[in-house]
Structure 1
Amino acid sequence: MERESMEFDVVIVGAGPAGLSTACRLMQIAQDKQQELMVCVVEKGSEVGAHILSGAVFEPRSLNELFPDWQQRNAPLTTKVTADDIYLLTSEKSGIKLPNFSVPKTMHNDGNYIVSMGNVCRWLAEQAEQLGVEIFPGFPAQSIIYNDDGSVGGVITGDMGLDAEGKEKDSFMPGMELRAKYTVFAEGCRGHLGKELIEKFNLDENSSPQHYGLGFKEIWDIAPEKHQEGLVVHTAGWPLDKGTTGGGYLYHAENNQVFVGLIVDLNYSNPHLSPFDEFQRYKHHPKISQYLEGGKRVSYGARAMAKGGFNSLPKMTMPGGLLVGCDAGTINFAKIKGNHTAMKSGMLAAEAIAQVLINDEGIAEEGKQDLTHFSQLYKDSWLYEELYSTRNFGPAMHKFGTLLGGAYNTLDQNFFSGKLPFNFKDDSLDHAQLKLAADVPVIKYAKPDNKLSFDKLSSVFLSNTNHEEEQPCHLKLKDADIPISVNLLKYNEPAQLYCPAGVYEVEKTEQGDKFIINAQNCIHCKTCDIKDPSQNITWVTPEGTGGPNYPNM
């Protein structure tokens, strides 16, 4: 079958906060200019919000700019932060509550809200559609269209109805060509098309390597007498050892629910470490368990996050396209927030595109040029100022450790507003930090008690993950022998442990060890694409609607 083709002024890949903010701002400008603009958003999830996972304490700065009347529009921001508690957990039983003056001011949350970003994105999609944006959920952007001159010309959505060998089934439907004057890539962290563009256009030649964390989240119903709506709890220290950075959180949302999670930085060195099991341990700490005991876990998910910050940002433009949000890595990890920065990057992208496409005479016929003026819009914005002022946060933590790095950041932020004349950089690669399995201690994890801690498979069940089983595996191995011949021998094949969904297993057979990929379990976290020590795994999009179906994450 021939592919159908549709043409738009702008195609946006990903219906997250960055992509939807791009769409809304574009249509607002078009309406102000009294011009008709054709904008579409493609989303790989079964619905908008299905693949959105975020803590989340939300700073409304970008939303205030995009929709100043968001309260009248019934945006799902209803739980104001009422208190901030920050603990240094010194052991599995004890912890110290840190006074406010000893905490970087970036971590204070006055004026912020505890939200479900999935629901915020659903609301943003409603606003976009009211403005005239076309949104296509269940259509993953599988590949990029390049014009004859090498510029980005749009995307091709994924084929449907292929069997495991890639042969056409009776239900086969080829993907569609969505051609555009400009294409905005807002896939989220480690987007597979963004990864391709960064390499093809050498967008990261002047930046440090990107760094990542793996973030876990569960939603719990807890006893009303334990619930303190608006309370935000952050922790550092235990259960992570001195060589592993990250931190935990517990947010008291509405309706007697709490959001609890742990972020494990993916530059850890011990291949025996299991981020999932570290999270299960975390919930047993008295500072956390006091709220969860007697409660019921109702949802589970995990997602990688780009946390390199300012120094790891690639060039965000290329001929015919832009990278925005976590596809570029705009998260401000000093605030443990990336939604407001993702939204602002999308709004700036919209303004850059509008300067070229929309004028008083109408909509320009051609695109393709590199929107280099985006860089100036970005440098003139509060987004640049915010990311630049926190540029040393991550590198300082990696260089000096949690305690000394935290002390430096407190001094830098609270007394010098990020203007200390230092520029720390971390040019290491997260995947290259693993030590040989034989050189580090094995970590023994307790069995789950099924009250506070659980196994991977029951957790994946709560993520509502589903894939069409008879389809090509979307977890591609460059060399099928490496997992056993290299990774197992050197690192005890760490994919068995770093994957938070039980996708990877090593099975012992009479013929020898066999590497198993349970692709149906994949929750699209992208950790394997990031942490595999041989960089042998490439994540690509499965059939549309596949993956988790998060209701309120």
Structure 2
Amino acid sequence: MGQDEPVDGIERDAMEFDVVVVGAGPAGLATAIRLKQLAAERSQDISVCVIEKGAEVGAHILSGAVIDPGALDELLPGWKENDPPAMTAATTDEVLFLSAAHQLKVPAWATPPAMQNHGNYIVSLAQLTRWLGGQAEALGVEIYPGFPAARVLYTAEGQVRGVVTGDMGLDRDGQPTDAFQPGMELLGRYTVFAEGSRGHLGRALIERFRLDADSDPQSYGIGIKELWEVRPEHFRPGLIVHTAGWPLDNATYGGGFIYHFGENRVAAGFVVGLNYQNPYLSPFEEFQRWKTHPALRGMFEGGRRLEYGARAITAGGLNALPKLVFPGGCLVGCDAGFLNAARIKGTHTAIKSGMLAAGALADALQAGRAHDELSAYPEAFRASWLYGELWKTRNFKAAMGKGLVMGTLLVGLDQTVFRGRLPVTLHVKKPDHLYLKPASECQPIEYPRPDGKLTFDRLSSVYLSGVNHGEQEPVHLRLKDPNVPTAINLPEYAGPEARYCPAAVYEYVEHEDGSGLRLQINAQNCVHCKTCDIKDPTQNIIWTPPEGGGGPGYSSM
């Protein structure tokens, strides 16, 4: 029952399961784990398949990451005794407001509750996700890494029936080679989409079923991260630092983070809201410049950069959550947008959303249902602590959209004074790509050259991401209209693709015949952050999954 097959007339093998989960991140694995737990408790036989586009579970997982362990306690009681990856207990919170040369430390009494991390842990989310994958497999979940879901399959009545995995062995033009292997149909009574932020199938489902008709436009950020090994004298285990202000201007949402964990490891990163206005802004260069601040640079001196990566963040919160269900499936985790941006945390919310979905799925399967709408899932969400937590921080993104000074005052009033119970709800009015101003209205930004010790260029950074794509495979970054970049983006917005991409995928180069500039897409550099899919001012770029296993290969991000 597939549609829009890439090669006509080919037969595809099919496998059937009770539940197909797309994405082996915390949300997808939590869904699978909880389904198997409920099956055992009820003596049900529930078959669960999880497919993952990364070469292995965790290969595409990137986060800060400080986790609230509450949802993990619910999912796997006693998990700490089951050999999880190394974790460092949070000991100290510091919130800094930066100017170009100075810092202002927020006193502990003024730190919003959402920014306090007592009881939380600093972890590598890639490693934690691999561990969760092992827990799922031990319960009988079938996990298939290296198999991206390419498109959704529907019944004749328009219900979601499953997915088809990507074809392999295509040439640059999308034609079969001698190594061609057609994708497989994975069919389920229900399909769960857990692709992470800006999932390409989640996006298509939201559009097809108009799941966002009653919600605010979704808001995103780009998070860029480096993992460092620092000198022992610069290491403070359990230290959590968040910064706001410089190098961003007052109108641009964003800030930095520094987490000390493990053995002399420091996770350092920078987030920029993708509603920024100046097309000359480069989130990558802002991050590099941020590290040079007098309050920060000393920590990196004598250290060694180990890994690099970037990922979009679904940050709209409760007001931007789409409808979670549709005939035959549901959205969980960041595919829906459960991140709590005010807390800068999404792992516990992703896990809880998967658990709530699993409860509704198990009930539906027990009742013999299939392909209908899982109304019990959003009902369970509204009755859960997850809804209560997101409701208390519902105003965060809209408040910070009013600028650093006004936004900080509003968030402080909402979170510190009213404890999340401000008697009004603020709303975001338009999607991120509509905030970009024409270049003629903005000031170019001159960024310093990297020194190769503290600051770096994009290509050397991409090398540390472990990214890998086949040289001859089709370009997975597609243009709806190939003329738009040079007809609109370059003359009106000064070619923002070359700056918002943190991996040097997009560059304007001279035509071979000297007739002008053209947009060159270096798809082999792509770290799957999805920023181009979100920020392109003309919405002309569509991110699609590359051949199975392609992309970054994060080990400790």
Distance 1:370 1:181 in 2: 11
The residue that corresponds to 2:515 in the other structure is 511
Shift of 1:407: 2.1
In the alignment, which of 389, 400, 404 is matched to residue 386 of structure 1? 389
The equivalences for 1:290-369 within 5 A come to 290-358=298-366, 364=368, 366-369=369-372
The residue that corresponds to 1:371 in the other structure is 374
In the alignment, which of 427, 430, 452 is matched to residue 428 of structure 1? 430
Report the 3-state secondary structure (helix = DSSP H, G, I; strand = E; otherwise coil) of the residue aligned with 2:80: coil
Q: Is the 8 A contact 1:30 1:358 kept in 2?
A: no
The residue that corresponds to 1:262 in the other structure is 270
Shift of 1:414: 2.3
The residue that corresponds to 2:3 in the other structure is none
Give the residue type in structure 2 aligned to 1:62.
Answer: A
Q: Is the 8 A contact 1:218 1:300 kept in 2?
A: yes
Report the 3-state secondary structure (helix = DSSP H, G, I; strand = E; otherwise coil) of the residue aligned with 2:449: coil
The residue that corresponds to 2:463 in the other structure is 461
The residue that corresponds to 1:544 in the other structure is 548
1:141 aligns with 2:143: no
Distance 2:429 2:235 in 1: 43
The residue that corresponds to 2:497 in the other structure is 495
Distance 1:301 1:367 in 2: 39
1:120 aligns with 2:123: no
The residue that corresponds to 1:407 in the other structure is 409
Distance 1:393 1:225 in 2: 36
Distance 1:372 1:290 in 2: 53
The residue that corresponds to 2:43 in the other structure is 34
Q: CA RMSD in A?
A: 0.9
The equivalences for 1:63-78 within 5 A come to 63-78=72-87
Distance 1:358 1:551 in 2: 39
Distance 1:414 1:396 in 2: 14
The residue that corresponds to 2:479 in the other structure is 477
Shift of 1:383: 0.5
Shift of 1:417: 2.0
Give the residue type in structure 1 aligned to 2:401.
Answer: H
For each residue in 1:127-156, what CA deviation from the matched residue of structure 2 results, as whole angstroms up to 9, or x when unmatched?
A: 000000000000000000101110000000
In the alignment, which of 438, 446, 449 is matched to residue 447 of structure 1? 449
Shift of 1:77: 4.9
Identity among equivalent positions (%) equals 55
For each residue in 1:392-448, what CA deviation from the matched residue of structure 2 results, as whole angstroms up to 9, or x when unmatched?
A: 01101112x222222222222223221111110011221011111122111000000
Report the 3-state secondary structure (helix = DSSP H, G, I; strand = E; otherwise coil) of the residue aligned with 2:40: helix
Q: Is the 8 A contact 2:189 2:328 kept in 1?
A: yes
Report the 3-state secondary structure (helix = DSSP H, G, I; strand = E; otherwise coil) of the residue aligned with 2:533: helix
Give the residue type in structure 2 aligned to 1:178.
Answer: L
Q: Is the 8 A contact 1:13 1:19 kept in 2?
A: yes
Q: Is the 8 A contact 1:104 1:411 kept in 2?
A: no
The residue that corresponds to 1:529 in the other structure is 533
Report the 3-state secondary structure (helix = DSSP H, G, I; strand = E; otherwise coil) of the residue aligned with 2:295: helix
In the alignment, which of 396, 401, 404 is matched to residue 399 of structure 2? 396
Distance 1:304 1:78 in 2: 24
Report the 3-state secondary structure (helix = DSSP H, G, I; strand = E; otherwise coil) of the residue aligned with 1:106: helix
Distance 2:255 2:504 in 1: 23
The structure 1 segments of at least 4 consecutive aligned residues displaced by more than 6 Å after TM superposition are none
The residue that corresponds to 1:159 in the other structure is 167
Q: Is the 8 A contact 1:159 1:175 kept in 2?
A: yes
Distance 1:237 1:55 in 2: 19
In the alignment, which of 294, 297, 302 is matched to residue 289 of structure 1? 297
For each residue in 1:232-254, what CA deviation from the matched residue of structure 2 results, as whole angstroms up to 9, or x when unmatched?
A: 01000011111211110000011
Give the residue type in structure 2 aligned to 1:426.
Answer: V
Q: Is the 8 A contact 2:251 2:404 kept in 1?
A: no
Q: Is the 8 A contact 1:33 1:358 kept in 2?
A: no
TM-score (norm 1): 0.98
Distance 2:441 2:413 in 1: 36
The equivalences for 1:196-215 within 5 A come to 196-215=204-223
Give the residue type in structure 2 aligned to 1:484.
Answer: T
TM-score (norm 2): 0.97
Q: How many residues align?
A: 546
Shift of 1:374: 1.1
The residue that corresponds to 1:176 in the other structure is 184
1:108 aligns with 2:125: no
The residue that corresponds to 1:253 in the other structure is 261
Q: Is the 8 A contact 2:86 2:262 kept in 1?
A: no
Distance 1:267 1:30 in 2: 44
For each residue in 1:12-40, what CA deviation from the matched residue of structure 2 results, as whole angstroms up to 9, or x when unmatched?
A: 00000000000000000000011221101
Distance 1:30 1:403 in 2: 51
Distance 1:408 1:104 in 2: 12
Give the residue type in structure 2 aligned to 1:236.
Answer: A
